[in-house]
Structure 1
């Protein structure tokens, strides 16, 4: 998501840009018909219905992804999957045939993506904070891309957008960014003409907002918004008013940081969160934490509270991305990285799953063994690969991801002299000269 313009300069204006590592991502079909893992430029799909790996087919003149994938999302009904990332390509896949139904080129690297609830629009955000939109049409159950040229829909004014979500009703699109903001925008009837009505802002985080999700209520159709952040908190919002309803200090609750004296090295960002369907539970992943934190939302009281910590023992596994279907009581987790210096293979991935959320009152969720997971060893061979990785490499990967996330999303402060140097050596000014 970040390019040279986001990288600090040494004296004299020389760039210290390092090889950008990227975390592995996971997405689960809403009906748990398939599971997708993205690591680096590799998109790995396992079809749980057929019990085998799925083969992606792209008959267009565009290539498969050539650089790190930064976003993978299923549509609400599971018929579509979108993948996008650092190669500035957005690919839309049919999950019935796993054919690519369209590829959209973006001017900048893509940082987030979402599919509208009706499946007619794909929205994606670039690293300069612009949200773009393309429209799809469905005929006889088959989707096609109407126009390969995306239209700008809204903008966050030069701030990396980290997450995009449609509200449960589809009336609003919510976007979060590196500058601590959450914007709620009215989804227009003609998105290709732009979304010009800002409904509200949800302000309160003190660091970048990393992830968003909605928790539904039978009495409140729009549901409540849940957000995670680099400030190690999870916050509950009413998007109709933009008001902050409650805050949970998840880093402190997990015993990772001192809630009173936070030091810079205590970087315990919330990397992802997932609302357990048909419940009030929220699973939270925290940077470098070997487990998840479970929160509970009291919808009537409009509050969110700590429930328990579920530790993962026996191996170094710090999940950075979570996924869950709406039909199964199974939380999917991934830990992985691409472009790790010193790694013999191009990437490493570890996939785990946890069950028992529907019986949380009877005890803790249960971590499944590899042979207990849906798809078993065949699934793991597809999603993880067959490379044997030593425990020390996973530790190094966790630290590399921590540094990469901090470097990408924590805002940097420069001296006046350095700021002037950066202005003179900006890439866009070089091109103009």
Structure 2
């Protein structure tokens, strides 16, 4: 017996062919919507995989470095233990390197020494200063090869290309093959990428200074933006009167969250450097600029977290005699802190990847050592990537991609911490 329903002047037969066709079209529309969603997700994952794959394919070679392992006998070298800095380390290192291939004509000898990093003498000197016991014996030292030879070892330079079109000439290729046959060369993991600071030479360049600078930046940003943002949000949400002035403040806070980051860089350039006279390229200035960027996000997240706490908790606290500030700081704020911390970490992760404001305050300078404080000249990971991407040496291409992967790793870790905090401490009402 057909099911009928009266809707209007006529009865509708829900089992009629017309209604079956209508339901079929609706179900088909639902399936199409699901398919469109899956296609969109597939496209997003495809682009992400393409990005990560491209960076990995370009940057994985930067995680290894071609080096020469040579033995240097320091027992016969003319070195004054009381004046290690004044020793002729250049002659000592060159003598050890030349012993690997024997006597060479002057022209070939010059080409041979060009195969090794020009800072090899300083690396040996610093190793001896760090361990003076090497003076009384023959020691093994690791000397990085120059970037062209490193590119040759990694297959980036083809031997089939005419000599005038490649950076490694035929003599150097012959000497390279001889060193390989004697097991002098190897390609270990490039720890210098993580523990060295910036350098003009790709084989010596690393991100240690940039990571240290980013740490100081985020520390300043956290110390300033977190308490200031929470205090502003508590006042606006709990104490501020509802009038046109507070409405204007709320609108401006929401608008500041969408302002391009370059505007904050211009503000920092004009105020912190121009008016206050703070040092250029200092992590303190960068942290202040990033704090201005992060504050609106923290204020908005904190207000949403405070609003999510049920009003019954506030009323219960007030009902047992607690003052308003006691109800806020003893009950409401602790319950909303997981959401606040999650939003803060996400805001800091966004600040970590900002480049434009840091460029405007001069944090793209060439800095060869990590900063030792808030006022020391420094760079950061995003600006270090920008500097390397603009370098003409081929070795910086792989290092640029490797630095991007390191930055993405930090961002993934920070977002993972935010997700963990939200799932671990979030209260559901």
Normalized per residue, the structure richer in strand is 1
TM-score (norm 2): 0.21
Q: Could you say which structure has the larger radius of gyration?
A: 2
Normalized per residue, the structure richer in helix is 2
